[in-house]
Amino acid sequence: MADDGDDLEPVELAIDDVLDLHSFQPREVPDVVRDYLDAAYAKGLRDLRIIHGRGAGVQRRTVRAILARDPRVVACGDAPLGAGGWGATWVKLR
């Protein structure tokens, strides 16, 4: 019987100032980003980088929509070229 991954246990990730979304399924991204923002904020991190990749821009739009609705986000934008450029978003929290 094939394992479709729906019965897997949650994985605890170390929280630092960078979240790389490459290992997550697109349907998981909204929850992962919201949970990451909660954990990073609770840990006192205020300058973050979320790596979503370049691709067609779907993940980028998803990430930016979540950030736009979060009252803790002061500003966000494309990361500097050496930190991912438009394949990553920098985030400044209150």
For the stretch 14-52, pLDDT in tens is: 899 999 999 999 999 999 999 999 999 999 999 999 999
**In angstroms, how far is the first alpha carbon of the chain from the final one?**
48
Model confidence at 2: pLDDT above 70: no
More confident residue, 68 or 7: 68
Give pTM, 2 decimals. Answer: 0.86
Domains of the chain in start order, with CATH, are 18-93 (3.30.1370.110)
Q: What is the pLDDT of residues 43-85, one digit of tens each?
A: 999 999 999 999 999 999 999 999 999 999 999 999 999 999 9
Cβ partners under 8 Å of residue 59, min gap 6: 21, 26, 29, 52, 53
Report the C-alpha gap between 73 and 42 in whole angstroms. 14
Model confidence at 5: pLDDT above 70: no
